[in-house]
A and B are shown apart, each in its own frame.
Chain A
Amino acid sequence: MSQSVAIHVENISKSYGTFRAVSELTFKVFKGEVFAMLGPNGAGKSTTIRMILDILKPDSGKIEVLGGALTQATKERIGYLPEERGLYRGVSVIEMMVYLGTLKGLSPADARRRSMDYLTRLDLAEYAKKKVSELSKGMQQKVQFAVTVLHDPELIIIDEPFSGLDPVNTLVIKDLLLDFRRRGGAVVMSTHLMHQVEEMADRLLMISRGQQKLYGTVAAVRAQYALPAVIVEGQGEWKQLEGVERVEHSENGRMGDVLFLKPGVQPDHVLGEIARRDDMHIRRFELAVPSLNDIFIQVVAGERYEQSVVGR
């Protein structure tokens, strides 16, 4: 990967009293990618984001954002949408957007033009003069998103980008995020929605209890958790295959059968074997790669298990 680095976090730790919120975390976020931060509640995601944004200072370690330590000038190149969302309620949508845009360094005219562009794109143009408090929750979410990207930042950090959005609006925001990535921006999103990560994210970092659990491209992480098994759909007595140790049939047969391989046996080998036999036919053959959701649960559950064992 030869992309330029948007965020470089090196060995940061943060404790609150005796509670270790983040422990020796290291990762990079590149420009032109969607980077997902995963982890159970209280894993240290928000703390990490706040340290990146210089709201909190790490106890140790180093953070570089857009090529250096975070300065006021760098802040103008970042868009941040915190988990707890808020807007000024008593003012008009356009007025609030222009204010927040100018704070990010836009000229008032520029801020107004861009705000109208986004509102049009988000189907909210007619609400520009309405008070924020008159908007529905979904509309407010979209306005908040528009505020986050209004100043055309190079990096956006979003906590739970899709919480509270209906499927249609989720799609709208997703398109905007992917569009942002296409133009070379870096997106850091923290989320619980694993299928969104699978669909959108290029790389991910999973943390639990402040420690890195998984880190890398989504494909690599899934491969790392791949079982020594393949999923096969078709006809045949799979047990007769040389390299197969045991077979698990899925309940309704629709999902195919899971073939667990003997140690050292490669999936390719099994596929070749099937192909050579006349009494077996396959419609589908794939590696038994767990979904991110399964991996998430496995990682977190494993940890809870460890915790309870240690606790005893």
Chain B
Amino acid sequence: MNKAWLVARREFLTNVRKRSFLLSAVGMPLFFIALFYVIFALTARQYDLASLGIIGYVDRSGILAGQVDKPAAFAPFSSENEARAALDAGEIGAFFIVPEDYETTGAITIYGRTDRNPDLEREITAYLVVNLGVDVDPERLARMQKPVETSVLFLDSGRLLNDESFAGLFIVPLVFVLLFSIGAQVTSGYLMSSVVEEKSNRIMEILITTITPFQLLIGKIIGLGAVGLLQLAIWIGAGLTVVEINRNAPLIQGLALPPDLVVIALVYFILSYFLQASLMAGIGAAAGGEQESQQIAGILSLVFLLPYFFMISFITNPGGFIPVLFTFIPFTAPVAVIARMAFSTVPLEQIVISMAILFVTALLIAWASARIFRWSLLMYGKRPSLRQLIGALRSNAMQTTAIGEAQG
């Protein structure tokens, strides 16, 4: 096992110094931070009410005659034509008309230059409510403005979902789980190319007469797993820094990582990485070359991302059939469980069973990969057929080179 440690050490050190690692460890967070700021800047400007300047209105119903609580930016006009002229002249940014039959229909029309502006609509609504309820007790009026302040307490996890923590509970776990799956995939990708490298440059024959295939495989999995964890730590560290710097930005308020989620996500990351890494090592050993193994890995990664395609079921019905099904499929369990935890709670026994299934599957795949690894090590440049692969899993003879040589 000491030798597995040597392999692990080498894999860690060489991969951490690679340019591709720097690119994904540092480049990725930089890219996402930049993206975040761009989106933030764009959305913030779009909903800027002040940029509209003065908002005109034409009140044909007489409901606004009292001008109770009139926002400073609102200015009355006597006719539509007058308001229209002011809008065309650029004196006002938009105007709205309250028709005679407003009290029965509730219909108003907003005239503006650009897109809809939700803030403007909110502002108009608030102004109308105040004027409709002039006779109402101010405290009741406040309730009428906003009749429900939702908070949902998940009894199982003790987590509270309210308007402030909404973003944190929804967005953070999703980003988190995305990071974890990308992390596990990138890392197991390293593992695959490392196997393919050793196979294609023939160093494998030297390694295999020095250490056992299992030591080699375990060493690689541990070493590259450490690379993956380091990468995750950098990503999460970068994310937390950005959150900390922008504490007061509206999107980020109430953003928090529930500790139980972090712990469970970490366990899933490690298990899922173990599973993927073993799988990728097997593919790397069995495939014909770098390109072919990349293609197979690409298709497989879709399986791991499957829950994202069904995210709507997770939001609408986190305890429904599809989310629960994905919880028990080892490949989709990490994403499924984290997503379910984000939107509701997952019964503890389901988590335990799901982790157990994942762990056993990972062990099985590691075992199978070690055999395929051992078996196909020496079949350079030749891709074993499916039948040969199954044969490799069954046979004790390990007649690898055998078939390769006889055919060649």
Chain A residues in contact with chain B, CB under 8 A? 14, 16-17, 19, 21, 42, 46-47, 50, 53-57, 59, 72, 75-76, 78, 80-82, 84-91, 99-100, 102-104, 147
Contacts and interface: CB of A to CB of B under 8 A. Distances in A.
A55 B205 contact: yes
Given A19-B406, A56-B402, A103 B397 contact: no
Interface stretch (B67-75, B208-216, B304-312): B208-216
B398 A57 contact: yes
Nearest to B402: A16
Given A57-B397, A86-B202, A86-B203, A75 B405 contact: no
A147 B206 CA distance: 10
B26 interface: no
B3 interface: yes
A49 to B, nearest CB: 10
A21 B406 CA distance: 8
B226 interface: no
Interface of B: 3, 6-7, 10, 14, 18, 197-198, 200-212, 377-378, 380, 397-403, 405-406
A55 B202 contact: no
Given A17-B403, A104-B210, A84 B398 contact: no
A80 B402 contact: no
A78 B209 contact: yes
Contacts of B197: 88
Contact of A84 (B202, B209, B210, B400): B202
B191 to A, nearest CB: 15
A104 to B, nearest CB: 6
Nearest to B211: A103
A226 to B, nearest CB: 35
A75 B206 CA distance: 11
Nearest to B203: A86
21 contacts: A17-B402, A19-B406, A55-B209, A55-B378, A57-B397, A75-B209, A76-B210, A80-B206, A81-B206, A82-B202, A82-B205, A82-B206, A84-B380, A86-B205, A86-B206, A87-B201, A89-B201, A91-B14, A102-B6, A103-B6, A104-B210
A237 to B, nearest CB: 56
Given A72-B212, A85-B202, A89-B201, A103 B398 contact: no
Given A16-B399, A53-B209, A88 B203 contact: yes
A103 B207 contact: yes
B395 to A, nearest CB: 10
Q: List 10 tightest A-B contacts by C-beta distance, closest first.
A: A86-B202, A86-B201, A16-B402, A16-B406, A82-B205, A86-B203, A84-B202, A19-B406, A80-B209, A53-B209
A47 B402 CA distance: 8
Given A16-B399, A56-B399, A100 B206 contact: yes
Contact of B401 (A17, A56, A59, A78): A56
A277 B234 CA distance: 97
Contacts of B397: 57, 59
A55 B398 CA distance: 9
A21 B205 contact: no
Nearest to A104: B210
A86 B7 CA distance: 17
Q: Which of B14, B209, B406 has the most CB of A within 10 A?
A: B209
Contacts of B210: 75-76, 100, 103-104
Given A21-B406, A75-B211, 6 more contacts: A56-B402, A86-B198, A88-B203, A102-B6, A103-B6, A147-B206
B402 A14 contact: yes
Contacts of B400: 55-56
Contact of B208 (A55, A87, A88, A100): A55
Contacts of A21: 402, 405-406
A17 B406 contact: yes
B205 A84 contact: yes
B215 to A, nearest CB: 9
A88 B206 CA distance: 12
A104 B208 CA distance: 11
Contacts of A78: 209
A147 B209 CA distance: 13
A172 to B, nearest CB: 21
A184 B402 CA distance: 33
A15 to B, nearest CB: 8
A56 B397 CA distance: 8
A158 to B, nearest CB: 12
A159 B198 CA distance: 19
A103 B209 contact: no
Given A21-B406, A99-B6, A55 B206 contact: no
A275 B332 CA distance: 95
A91 B405 CA distance: 31
B406 A87 contact: no
A59 B397 CA distance: 8
A7 to B, nearest CB: 14
Given A78-B209, A88-B203, A103 B401 contact: no
